[in-house]
Amino acid sequence: MNYLGIDYGEHRVGIAFADSELHWAFPRETIDQKTQNLMDRLEKIVKEEKINLFVVGLPMHLDGRRDGKNVVVEQFIRDLREHFPWIPIETQDESYTSVVALQQTSYLSKKKKQKDKGIVDRAAAALILQAWLDKT
């Protein structure tokens, strides 16, 4: 099986990939919604990678309550379900994934991060997907 991890943001969407053989998530790309249609790009990725399951990061508070950003992410999940009704969708708590991704990319120069603002989004998507893989 092939999995696609998604760190949804209103401007940028981090994408990660994993398969059931390796059981390891890899950052794949960042989709800039200002310059690309998100669903069109996801359709291409789904076809290229033969995706069987989506794992979407869901913002949560430490005590398990839903974060205010959930409304936007839940709408995205509904849109995803509408576009890809044959692909199951799982959610994974994304608490602090962006913070950890920022720490993991701290070795990169500030100039490189400014040039490619999606580095942290891709890394966060990989953390979300890896956390889901680790618990399954």
**Which tens digits make up the pLDDT trace of 31-73?**
999 999 999 999 999 999 999 999 999 987 667 666 677 889 9
d(CA 97, CA 91): 14
- Contact call for residues 74 and 80 (beta carbons, < 8 A): no
Q: Helices marked H in 61-116 — which ranges?
A: 70-83, 97-104, 110-115
DSSP-derived 3-state class of residue 95:
coil
Domains and CATH numbers, the chain: 2-135 (3.30.420.140)
- Contact call for residues 53 and 6 (beta carbons, < 8 A): no
Which pLDDT band, with edges at 50, 70 and 90, does 16 fall under?
very high
Q: What percent of the chain has pLDDT over 90?
A: 64
